[in-house]
Amino acid sequence: MNILTGNDLKTGAVVWWDGSGWSLHVNDAVAVGDDAAAIIAGEQAARRVNGAYLIEAEASADGIRPDHIKERIRALGPTVRLDLSLKPADPAAGNWVI
C-alpha cells in the first residue's frame, strides 16, 4: 500500500495521513491510491505539513509497517533512545524497526 508521511510544520514531528488529518502513529495511516498529489498540495498549502511524500508499506494484522528501515525509524523514533520514541515503555520496540 502507499501511504503519505511528512513533518508537522510547527513542531517538525513525523506525521502520517489518516484520511482526514495527520496522525503521529503510523498505524493510523491509510492507503491514498491516486489521491496523493492532491492531498500533498492541499495540506502543504494549508501549512499543516512540511515536505509530504509517498512511501510504500505493508499492512498486516499487526499494523502498518513501512517497507524501508528509514521510514520505520521515523515511525518509531531513534532506536538508541527508545525512551524518546512513541513506545517508551516497550524495551523490544526496536525489533520492529530491524
Choosing from 61, 80, 89, 92, the residue that interacts with another protein (CB under 8 A) is: 80
Residue type at 56 in one-letter notation: E
Q: What residues contact residue 45 under an 8 Å CB cut-off, 6+ apart?
A: none
First to last CA, the chain: 20
Which of the ranges 15-23, 25-33, 34-42, 63-71 carries the binding residues for another protein, by CB under 8 A?
63-71
Query: Quick one: which H or E segment has residue 63?
Result: strand 63-66
- The reply on whether position 5 binds another protein by CB under 8 A is no
Q: Least Å distance between CB 13 and another protein?
A: 6
Q: Does 92 bind another protein (CB under 8 A)?
A: no
**How far apart are alpha carbons 64 and 28 in whole angstroms?**
8
**19-38 positions binding another protein, by CB under 8 A:** none
- Residue number, 9 or 30, with CB nearest to another protein: 9
**Nearer to another protein among residue 35 and residue 44 (C-beta):** 44
DSSP 29: -
